[in-house]
Chain A
Amino acid sequence: MNIYVLLKKTFDTEEKIAVSGGKIEDDGAEFIINPYDEYAVEEAINQRDAHGGEVTVVTIGDEDSEKQLRTALAMGADKAVLINTEDDLEDGDQFTTAKILEAYFEDKEADLILAGNVAIDEASGQVGPRLAEYLGIPYVTTITDLKIDGENATIEKDVEGDVEIIETSLPLLVTCQQGLNEPRYPSLPGIMKAKKKPLEELEIDDLDLEEEDVEPKTKTIEIFLPPEKEAGKVLEGEVSDQVKELVSLLKNEKKVL
């Protein structure tokens, strides 16, 4: 089985976010594999171990994305592909990513493509479904279980806390939800092996794409942090007075009534 994982690097969850000049500062920030993509890597390895085949991890990013790819290789993936857009693209959106991936998958025979449910940074959850549309294959999002039998797949999908059971067929794209599995730690022997595994680097040029082909369809107008939580206010006095004051505050100050 040819299994592919779409992987994105994101800020470490411990990282503090600072915005300056309309951009998120990433100088010196620690990056990790997007936690939902880790479920995808783990699932891919498990499916390969059960059914044979090969796991290829694909990311779009810059030179530093190699670290996350090596981590996926250390977990047990077989090959990695870095589509380096650092020099070619100023910015991109979900359209850009899906378009580049479409071009990458054009000549591949993928049986199963796994992605995270969302990336914890921009949280659009669009790239997987869009790519499946472009490739003309079925997709199921937020999966919590995946059983493959020959060409058929039985999937448990998380629907706002309920479970939907879906039967579909390969080739297939799924996006992975928490609960699907427990991602393993890259073992030390795995880390040692990872440096010898193939890591291919491509640029959009290699995919016969021009900058115009992948120009974002959206514009980011502004980036800002959520307002800091202000200290609460404790009302005092008789209860009836407190109620009056509360209503007046909601009406006049917060203007929600």
Chain B
Amino acid sequence: MGETKERIFKGGAFLIEDLTGEDIITPEDFTDEHKMIAKTTEDFVIGEVLPKVENLENHEFEYSVELLKKAGDLGLLGADVPEEYGGLALDKISSSLITEKFSRAGGFSVTHGAHVGIGSLPIVFFGNDEQKEKYLPKLATGELLAAYALTEPSSGSDALGAKTTAKLNEAGTHYILNGEKQWITNSAFADVFVVYAKIDGEHFTAFIVEREFPGVSTGPEEKKMGIKSSSTRTLVLEDAEVPVENLLGEKGRGHIIAFNILNVGRYKLAIGGVGGSKRALELAVKYTNERKQFNTPISGFSLTQEKLATMASELYANESAVYRTVGLFEQRMGALTDDQLKDGREVARAIAEYQIECSMNKYMCTELLDFTSDEAVQLHGGYGFMQEYEVERIYRDSRINRIFEGTNEINRLLVPGTLLKKAMKGELPLLQKAQSLQEELMMMMPEEVGTEVLEQEKYLLRNAKKMVLLGAGLAAQKYMQKLEKEQEILVNLADMVAEVYNMESAILRTEKAISKTGEEKNNQKLLYTQVYVQEAFNRIEADAKETLIAVEEGDTLRMMLSSLRKLTRHTPTNVIKKKREAAAAIIEEEKYLV
């Protein structure tokens, strides 16, 4: 460790940097060991969890506990826990692959994710030595199970508005907590809760609260639309007595923990979305090969093919983007010393650098899952509406992902907000770039696009980045500090930025693969990239146009629109043709393949 030849990029830097395939980590870079870890996880989910899904969906949570302990025996709970505390301290690619493979377990993947992620990580990152010593070895084996309690009935997105209070008792030995935490995953059986409360109603602080502490109880099980296999209850704190040594991190600095944990939660949800989408696509293509109408398997109809290929192209771009983000963490951590790596806060900081990427991945990949699960149901026709079919559950389970770990709307607002903050602080020269772009556009001449592989896509990417800078630059100039009130524009920008990140990730991954194994072996990747880039570009163009129209008027608007037209001039890819070709291989192999 500590020695790395890789370039380390700042969060958000993709908007202005020119990269090559070698700069990013792609799924093609996974080692045999990564693949073995993924296989063990997959075999465990298929062999142990799926046979119990019915029980889990019926809230027989003794099975959740049993399965988590079995997962612990295999090491599936210790990936992110340091070795000195009984964990495996695996790299982030390994722990991401575990998350991806768990996604097939539906609601149980939420149970697993809450335990290893938001439940255990606050202690991994911010616990002191005694707290780590006490809790982590047992959390890594599943002897203790964890939950995370932030949300309250009246504070969701506005987490700092929490009403739960903590007050030091007279003896100075315990904090007395009072309040209600709502929708707490794993609450039926968790032994340890990370709870946020305001000391003296003022200082937002995290605590490690054990179920057995006096004054701690849970409410009745909630009845949910999806992820029914996971337990969701209210955590009730009535004069709950929490020993002072269980204060986590620093008094009044709970928001630092909450913010860092959310980042992790977000990219992990994104990975889950990618895993779930692969399953949805697989079920859809198998079904459409089997189902005959008019004496033809319905996969023989080009409209089915269009759906399958669109799902796969979107999946490819999002998969490329989310593993690129995981690669960014890895690259950054690779530059840390061994001592720094042992300090959880440094690891959390390495991840927090990429909060923009985490947020983008979250909203893009959870919407990917909504899209693919919706299409998978559609391709099943009436059967997809029946509970006997797995897609029915996937569809219901998908919906929550756009809501928890920060709604997709909150995450969208965060992206341009954070980018602008970075620009203001001088961390990213975005505003300078935006300025020079406006001059460049005045005298821009149409560019001749070559016919080399990926050249068109790279051209569209360059221009898409310029559209983002144009929109963001104008909006920042016009509204200045008041830009945060223009939420529609911020969301347009967030969508454009995320599409750019996905486009670029797909292009670079395909470029890297082709440079290693040639174009013929990577035809599928190329088709997905061509399709995605074209369709994303169209969406970006629409968002850019709407943004310009909202920001400018009259002659300036006309001038800006003409600049935009210069940027969008190109001969579009025939996506219908490309999709048919991509679909043929998917239908042949009956799964998502690259």
Contacts and interface: CB of A to CB of B under 8 A. Distances in A.
B589 A186 contact: no
Interface in B339-384: none
B47 A185 contact: yes
Interface in A215-246: none
A16 B47 CA distance: 21
Interface residues of A, number: 16
A79 interface: no
Interface stretch (A134-142, A189-197, A249-257): A189-197
B589 A188 contact: no
Nearest to B77: A188
A26 B198 CA distance: 62
A71 interface: yes
Given A67-B32, A185-B47, A191 B40 contact: yes
Interface in A59-78: 66-67, 70-71, 74
Interface string A166-187: 0000000000000000000111
A188 B590 CA distance: 29
B44 A186 contact: no
Nearest to A188: B75
Residue of A66, A187, A195 ringed by the most chain B CB atoms within 10 A: A187
B36 interface: yes
B40 A192 contact: no
Contact of A186 (B40, B47, B88): B40
B32 A188 contact: no
B90 interface: yes
Contact of B36 (A16, A189, A191): A191
B44 A188 contact: no
B36 A71 contact: yes
Contacts of A66: 32
B75 A187 contact: yes
Interface size class of B (residues with CB under 8 A): 20 to 34
Given A16-B589, A185-B43, A191 B73 contact: no
A116 B60 CA distance: 38
A195 B32 CA distance: 10
Interface of chain B: mostly helix, strand, loop or mixed: helix
Contact of A191 (B33, B43, B44, B78): B33
Contacts of B40: 185-188, 191
Contacts of A71: 36, 39
Given A185-B44, A188-B88, A70 B36 contact: yes
Nearest to A27: B521
B84 to A, nearest CB: 15
Interface string B51-76: 00000000000000000000001111
A189 B89 CA distance: 10
B437 interface: no
Given A16-B589, A185-B44, A187-B40, A70 B75 contact: no
Contact of A195 (B33, B79, B88): B33
A74 B40 CA distance: 10
Interface in B1-44: 32-33, 35-37, 39-40, 43-44
B36 A186 contact: yes
Given A16-B589, A191-B37, A191-B40, A185 B32 contact: no
Contacts of A186: 36, 39-40
A17 to B, nearest CB: 13
Contacts of B35: 67
Contacts of A191: 33, 36-37, 40
Given A66-B32, A190-B75, 20 more contacts: A16-B588, A16-B589, A16-B590, A67-B32, A67-B35, A67-B36, A71-B36, A74-B36, A185-B40, A185-B47, A186-B40, A187-B73, A187-B74, A187-B75, A188-B40, A188-B74, A188-B75, A188-B76, A188-B88, A191-B33
Interface of A: 16, 66-67, 70-71, 74, 185-192, 194-195
18 contacts: A16-B590, A67-B35, A70-B32, A185-B40, A185-B74, A187-B40, A187-B73, A187-B74, A188-B37, A188-B76, A188-B79, A189-B75, A189-B88, A191-B33, A191-B37, A191-B40, A192-B90, A194-B36
